[in-house]
Chain A
């Protein structure tokens, strides 16, 4: 069982790294980008019986800082 956790800065929180990537894309001639947001993907290899509720608890406690970040869990 695997879980993939996507962590992104919340809307409304300035993402200076995403902005820098957007500028760099523009400098390379890619004019068609209005905005870039950069986040992270965390893959968890889960032991048998670990459920989504537990992964959500992991997100709340450690994997995301919910003051600034939102997260999404995908179980597979």
Chain B
């Protein structure tokens, strides 16, 4: 199973994400934002956290228009898997791969702490390692994680079981306590919390490990 992790100027979780994929058994290649194509045979693209392009204009807006993101969008359109974490989630909403947008936290503060996440569905390659209803501890670290979408979009997400994770104690004002959502084909996951920061006993928590093991495992056996 081959994963590519995108690196933008200002990405800072790219290597953590690569390590998490690698420890779950994936071959990982890093790709630069100016690259116009993904490496051949890539099953999964990781869009990492950080502050791509300094969060200028809007978080993820400049990155979403970079050359590599055209390739990422093509990959997603063709049914490829994509995981966007934190700034990566913001990039995925800016490209339109996932619906909605991430606004400034309701309390205006940058928040960096572990939070409780309720796994809402196990019906995806990313979440099948959990049981629906499980509560896991995963760190968040963001200033703009306040998920917003219009009512029609929110209803569609709820009705089609596409809310992957919900905060148990909403830290940022997100609508419906949403922390992570899936695409229509359930192969793209965007989430504000950082599973790659809870994927090794040295991190102080390993609740994120099941996500990487599940998706790498499924793509390896496929």
Contact = CB atoms under 8 A, between A and B. Distances in A.
A14 B57 contact: no
Contact of B104 (A17, A63, A65): A17
A14 B108 contact: no
A62 B149 contact: no
Interface in A15-39: 16-17, 20
A67 B65 contact: no
B93 A67 contact: yes
B67 to A, nearest CB: 15
Interface residues of A, number: 12
B61 A14 contact: no
A13 B103 contact: yes
Given A62-B57, A67-B149, A17 B65 contact: no
A1 interface: no
B32 interface: no
A65 B65 CA distance: 12
A14 B149 CA distance: 12
The prevalent SS among residues of B at the interface is: loop
A68 B148 contact: yes
Contacts, number: 38
Contacts of B105: 16
B103 A14 contact: yes
B101 interface: yes
A17 B106 CA distance: 8
B58 interface: yes
A68 B173 contact: no
A60 B58 CA distance: 14
Contacts of B104: 16-17
B15 to A, nearest CB: 29
A63 to B, nearest CB: 7
B106 A68 contact: no
Interface in B24-77: 57-58, 61, 65
A16 B61 contact: no
Interface of A: 9, 13-14, 16-17, 20, 61-63, 65, 67-68
Given A16-B173, A20-B108, A62-B65, 16 more contacts: A13-B103, A14-B146, A14-B148, A14-B173, A16-B104, A16-B106, A16-B146, A61-B65, A62-B57, A62-B61, A63-B57, A65-B61, A65-B94, A65-B101, A67-B100, A67-B150
